[in-house]
Amino acid sequence: MIVAIATLAWTIYNDHRTRTPDPPPSSIARQVRITLRDQDMPLPPGAERITEVVATEITRQATPPGSHAQDPSAGAHHPGEKDDPGPT
């Protein structure tokens, strides 16, 4: 059930992202619940909480396009790395 909820939430998140760059987790979770009810899928106890957590984590972990430059680890050098990896 968790995998089904996560897969559906990811699909809904991507659909919402085409209209809104940063869709709120509550919107994703609500749409997941609506879709599952429309499919007459029996939901076990705790499914609503699972849906909320999955939607929150998807929106928190997803990286919007072009935001790699805002990543604090982007461009960071690690011990042993050369500044110029090209031929010398």
Average pLDDT over residues 15-19: 92
Would you say the C-alpha torsion 65, 61, 51, 10 has a positive or negative sign?
positive
The 10s digit of each residue's pLDDT in 32-80 is: 999 998 998 888 889 999 999 999 999 999 865 555 434 434 444 444 4
The closest of 55, 73, 70 to 16, measured between CA atoms, is: 55
pTM passes above 0.75: no
Question: Which pLDDT does position 44 carry in this prediction?
Answer: 83
pLDDT of residue 64: 56
Higher pLDDT, 88 or 34: 34
Confidence of residue 2 (pLDDT cuts 50, 70, 90): confident
What local confidence, expressed as pLDDT, does residue 41 receive?
80
Burial of residue 10 (CB within 10 Å: 0-12, 13-18, 19+) is: middle
C-alpha–C-alpha distance, residues 63 and 14, integer Å: 12
Between the two ends of the chain, the Cα-to-Cα distance in Å is 54
